[in-house]
Structure 1
Amino acid sequence: MNFVLALGVFLIIMLSLAYYIYVLIRRALHVFFPQKKTKRIRIISIVLAVIVMAPTLNFFSSWLIIVLHIAALAIVCDILYLLTRKWLPKKLAKLHHITLIPLIATACLMVYGYYNIHHPIKTTYTVETEKAIPASGYKIAFISDLHTGLTLDRNGLKKYAREIEQQKPDIVLLGGDLVDERTTLDELQMAFEVLGTIDSRFGTYYVYGNHDESNYSNNKNYSKQQLDDAITKNNIKILDDAIKTVDDQFTLIGRRDLSLAPRKTAAQLMKKTDADDFLLLMDHQPVETKENNALAVDLMMSGHTHGGQIWPAGYVIELMGQVSYGKKDWSHMQQIVSSGIAGWGYPIRTEHHSEYVIVNVKPK
């Protein structure tokens, strides 16, 4: 039922988009060819609209994102035009009719979005705790949502692995979705081989994301066993509803992803922890935050949201009650959600940047 509803909504959106693209093309043709017969322009507009819309049937086509941006910006311009057309100069009205501003704005956004997703930055947070941790604290490196194969190749990933290593982290955390349904077996093995070379005091730990096991594909490029082998043979420890006492005062809790239910509750996992330790809970999706706060988790780290990736998705996530990006202080817990070092589906980011995260945990 949910699938049928989603399909119905998708078809309505796509048909509405196709009609609006037809309207924009027909309006522009009337400006360029005012003497042409309306019927001929209508036929040409239909043909051009079909040509524009055909590539969007591939859901993973970047062309879909381009067309959606043009349409969204054109709607904004149409609203502004309706509000100002009584005193708008004719030349500006013509520019509106040929959709010039949405086309230029979309081109600029796509250039920015392509650059943004291909150039991850370092984001640093400081977390203070009253727990009795060493005076030097802990430095944590966090990487999520690589979705290997979309942006970073071996050399690109090596560059960021060395950059992270230069930060001298005490521990490296991999927050899920390092690979996905379009990642090949060779790419998967390459990614974990490179990530496994990052040197740290306590080693590298991994939790599954919703895409890692390629569960959204009927024709998987790799098996669960091949995934696990690639992870573990590179000295990366998997935490699948498990805890690890990293140091005398530091315990790591790794959750099974919500999509891989059933999973243990955080309360069940934390029965085996020492409340005096600094408790870091890693969960790919930023969910069950109220429960984690009530359990007095000190720090929760997640990815999954990509910070929205394509505007305004991040705002929609926030409206749904989830933290889409950044740091949030709860009454007992501090929460960090990363936008990820790459993105999913499209090599474009028009919202938050790509990043890896460094967290400095300090005693108060």
Structure 2
Amino acid sequence: MILFFLTFFILFSLVNYYIIRRGLQALEIAPKFFRILFLIVVLIASLSYVFARAVFANSNTDFYDFLLFVGSIWYAFLMYGIIAIILSDITRFIIKKTKPYLFEDVQKYKKIKLYTFFVVSIFISGLVLYGYNNAQNIKVKEFFFSFQSEKSELKDMRIVFFSDSHLTPINDGVFAEKLINTVNSLNPDLILLGGDIIDDNSNNLNRHNISEKLKQLKAPLGIFTCNGNHEYIVGIDDAQQYLEKSNIIILRDTVLTIANTIQVISRDDRQRNRFVGSQRKSLKELNENVNKDYPSILLDHQPFELDSSAYYGINLHLSGHTHHGQMIPANLITSMIYEISWGYGKKENTHFYVTSGAGTWGPPVKIGTDAEIILFNIKFD
């Protein structure tokens, strides 16, 4: 974990340095105050997240919220900024090789750099603003399944599933209320969550009344979640206590029968060993406690071992974690890592759904993916 954060910090610093350097080059003929302003803005934005998490995380103040938001939104500008610079460098290299005479007029070239800086900055700002608005627009996806089960006492069930809400002072009480109102409007019998529900300490969450909002979720058959890697990051014991105080039960390597109708198999997160030094149970071990008279739903935060779910005859496998990259082109990376990065899939008789998440991690921006809640209408024949 230390090595990961050290590597991340070095890369983060280098990318910020390169953006500052190339930005100042583009602003070469701009007024001096504008170059100074650019430098100050980038330095503040790039340091905000680090200071928020490392210095002010336990301050329980609105200043922490401000730094967290500025630093988080900067990640979106950073990603698209470095992509724009790389494309610019490639374009400049090609033109220098093919049409070097275009660089002979130095003053004209400096003006082109300045105009390009402003055009690209405006475009990226518009793109991030679109992504921010898109992340606030929670969509509902609906599926209909029929599972064979002579023993199930209920003949149908409405199950709402969402994951990765990452509730923080960014995805705050206002966002939580919108999410919860949308879920409740679907009149679910059962609510299942795919982990990474909260992503901050209890003091910062309480300042935004997150627990009180979560208590408003309504489902007569209960509200259950597997834990994600971020429950471990914030502290698994504190996360479990906070969620259970909010009337959400964490199921860790557990098989639970719901209303003598369906079984929920909930796996601990696959990164458990990194945080507590012991492995989670295998699906084979959990399957030994499954009553085959009932259909089964598997909650597993990270969408791995899909073949195992199909092998053990799981009816519906639900995961999250990927965010489908959250912002294009990061989806290209998640699509290479995960067999299903986002959406529906099927193997043998097992249905799969990997959600892109109700919330966001890092920048509150979604581009090329949705903030979503899934409604499953299930009939038992």
Correspondence 1:14-29 to 2 at 5 A: 14-15=13-14, 17-19=16-18, 21-29=20-28
Unpaired segments ≥5 residues, structure 2: 51-67, 274-278
SS of aligned partner of 1:212 = helix
For 1:126 and 1:143, locate their aligned partners in 2 and report how far apart those are by CA, in whole Å.
16
Residue 288 of structure 1 deviates from its aligned partner by: 1.9
Match of 1:347 among 356, 364, 372: 364
Are residues 1:329 and 2:341 paired? no
Contact 2:201/2:234 (<8 A) preserved: no
Secondary structure class of the residue paired with 1:165: helix
Q: Partner of 1:209 in structure 2?
A: 228
| CA distance in structure 1 between the partners assigned to 2:230 and 2:169 by the alignment | 14
The two structures have a TM-score, normalised by structure 1, of 0.80
Q: Give RMSD over aligned pairs.
A: 3.5
1:169 partner letter: P
Distance 1:346 1:23, change over 3 A: closer
**Is 1:265–2:276 an aligned residue pair?**
no
Paired residues for 1:182-221 under 5 Å: 182=201, 184=203, 186-187=205-206, 190-215=209-234
**Would the aligned equivalents of 2:299 and 2:318 in 1 still touch at CA under 8 Å?**
yes
Matched, 1:167 2:186: yes
Distance 1:214 1:78, change over 3 A: closer
Q: What amino acid sits opposite 1:170 in the alignment?
A: D
Cα distance change on mapping 1:51 and 1:119 into 2, 3 Å: closer
CA deviation profile, 1:182-237 (whole Å, cap 9, x unmatched): 55365399434433332223111122111124447xxxxxx82x543443345433
Aligned to 1:285: 302
What amino acid sits opposite 1:319 in the alignment? M
Q: State whether residues 175 and 303 of structure 1, in contact with CA within 8 Å, keep that contact through their aligned partners in structure 2.
A: yes
Q: Post-superposition shift, 1:166?
A: 2.3
Match of 1:73 in 2: 84
| Mean Cα deviation higher: 159-168 or 330-339 | 159-168
Please show how residues 1-364 of structure 1 align to structure 2 within 5 Å. 3-4=2-3, 7-8=6-7, 10-11=9-10, 14-15=13-14, 17-19=16-18, 21-30=20-29, 52-53=42-43, 55-57=45-47, 58-59=49-50, 61=71, 62-80=73-91, 82-83=93-94, 86=99, 94-95=111-112, 98=115, 99-132=117-150, 137-182=156-201, 184=203, 186-187=205-206, 190-215=209-234, 224=237, 226-261=238-273, 262-362=279-379
Q: C-alpha separation between the residues in 2 aligned to 1:119 and 1:48?
A: 32
| Structure 2 residue matching 1:301: 3-state secondary structure | strand
Instruction: Check the 8 A contact 1:196/1:204 in 2, yes or no.
Output: no
**SS of aligned partner of 2:374:** strand
Give the fraction of aligned pairs with identical amino acids, expressed as a percent. 24
Is the 2:172–2:208 contact (alpha carbons within 8 Å) kept by the matching residues of 1? Answer: no
Quote the Cα distance in structure 1 between the aligned partners of 2:310 and 2:5: 33
- Kept in 1, the 8 Å contact 2:167–2:198? The answer is yes
TM-score w.r.t. structure 2 length? 0.77
Contact 1:117 1:151 in 2 (8 A): no
Please, which runs of 5 or more residues in structure 1 have no aligned partner?
A: 34-40, 217-222
* Whole-angstrom distance in 2 between the partners of 1:204 and 1:51: 43
Give how far 1:20 is off. 5.1
Larger relative helix fraction = 2
Amino acid in structure 1 at the alignment position of 2:79? L
* Higher mean displacement: 166-175 or 117-126: 117-126
CA 321–176 in structure 1, closer or farther in 2 if over 3 Å, else same: closer
Shift of 1:65: 3.0
Contact kept in structure 2, 1:179 and 1:188, CA below 8 Å: no
- When residues 65 and 213 of structure 1 are mapped into structure 2, their CA distance, relative to the original with a 3 A threshold, is same
Q: For 1:13 and 1:238, how far apart are their aligned partners in 2?
A: 34
Partners of 1:281 and 1:130 in 2: CA distance: 17
